[in-house]
Amino acid sequence: MATVDTFLPDIIQTTFFSGYTVFNTVVYTLILVVFVLAIIKMFKKLDIDPISIFYAIIPFIFLGSSTRALVDNGFYPKTVFLITPGLYILVGLITIASFLISISLFNKMEIDYRYSLFFMGLLFSVPNIILFSKLNFIAIIYVLITWIIASLIFMGMSFLVLYIKNKNIRNDIEKILEHKINFSIVLAHLFDASTTYVAVEYFNYYEQHVLPNALNQLFDTYLTLFPMKIIVIVAVLYIINQYFEDQTIKNLLKLTVFVLGLAPGLRNILTLTLGT
């Protein structure tokens, strides 16, 4: 087994840095929950809607995903701060610090914090962008075609909502699907599913996560990723809309779900573009 950091005990390297298991997935989820709770308090104190930075944090998502892809392909060393979960904690802290700086600039100079946050993320990402000089365009085309087809099928399936007999449920789901933020979240997860499907079916990669592997073993195809993503994400958005009244909590949860879809999707396609 390739070591991550020699100073880490073997049991920690085996448990947390040798692929995904049920145990470390639960641990990562608990870390994420603690992180989200802390961020909720921050947004409440600043009195800012988390959804306002929905698109502004995309460069930071790229930063984390591209760094992981570069680590996986040997451009950066495999250290505790450059792979899961250390990398995403580090990028999360960088994002929060940049956000607070952006808010300070907004208060002092009236510079829109969304734009300053976006460009700070781009600045941090420049070294990674430079390293992506060799691209596998065939992989990119495969992913884009798969994503477009999956998205079109999803949009077509959206019309089936009209046939749901329960009027209240039908109206609730319609509200989810017609909101551009919610729709962007579903598309982000379909993008993730598309990159995974293309990687494992056409480029001899393998899926590390527990649930997709279980579905693949059950149905003998990774096409199950697409209905799984749609069902789970629409259900999650439905629960968020129905059972969370606090707008800050509701929108931060949506932002979190968006990141959880786009980040692995970007990592996958960036790994494929390196052609290794």
pLDDT tier at 1, thresholds 50, 70, 90: very low
Same domain, 127 and 147: no
Q: Report the Cα–Cα distance between both ends of the chain, in Å, rounded.
A: 20
Q: What digits encode the pLDDT tens for the residues 130-149? A: 998 777 889 999 999 999 99
| Within a domain: 4 | no
Residue 95 has pLDDT above 90, yes or no: yes
Looking at residue 152, its pLDDT comes to: 93
Same domain, 122 and 208: no
- At 109, list the tokens: 């100079």
| Within a domain: 3 | no
Residue 196: exposure state from Cβ atoms within 10 A (0-12, 13-18, ≥19) = buried
Looking at residue 164, its pLDDT comes to: 73
Looking at residue 165, its pLDDT comes to: 65
How many distinct structural domains can be found in the chain? 2
Choosing from 113, 131, 149, the residue where a domain stops is: 131
Same domain, 219 and 269: yes
- At 213, list the tokens: 């592997």
User: What's the Cα-to-Cα distance from 239 to each of 49, 68, 230, rounded to whole Å?
Assistant: 19, 31, 14
Choosing from 85, 116, 131, the residue where a domain stops is: 131
Query: Greatest CA separation found in the chain?
Result: 60
Same domain, 113 and 156: no
Mean per-residue pLDDT over the chain, rounded: 85
Same domain, 201 and 121: no
Residue 3 has pLDDT above 60, yes or no: no
Choose the weakest-confidence range: 26-30, 50-54, 93-97: 26-30
Same domain, 166 and 117: no
Domain extent, residue 174, equals 137-273
| Within a domain: 5 | no
Same domain, 142 and 254: yes
Q: Name 117's Cβ contacts closer than 8 Å, sequence gap at least 6.
A: 53, 56, 57, 98, 99, 102
| Within a domain: 125 | yes
| Within a domain: 227 | yes
| Within a domain: 237 | yes
Same domain, 18 and 76: yes
| Within a domain: 44 | yes
Choosing from 88, 108, 131, the residue where a domain stops is: 131
- At 170, list the tokens: 């039908």
Q: What digits encode the pLDDT tens for the residues 224-273? A: 889 989 999 999 998 998 889 999 999 999 999 999 999 999 999 999 98
Same domain, 268 and 182: yes
Same domain, 105 and 141: no
| Within a domain: 158 | yes
Pick 159 or 98 by higher pLDDT. Answer: 98
Residue percentage of the chain with pLDDT more than 70: 84
Same domain, 85 and 149: no
Q: What digits encode the pLDDT tens for the residues 153-179? A: 998 887 777 667 677 777 777 777 778
**Beta strands in 30-157, from DSSP E residues, in sequence order:** none
Looking at residue 256, its pLDDT comes to: 93
Same domain, 36 and 161: no
pLDDT tier at 2, thresholds 50, 70, 90: very low
Q: Alpha-carbon distance 266 to 128, whole Å?
A: 13
Residue 210 has pLDDT above 60, yes or no: no
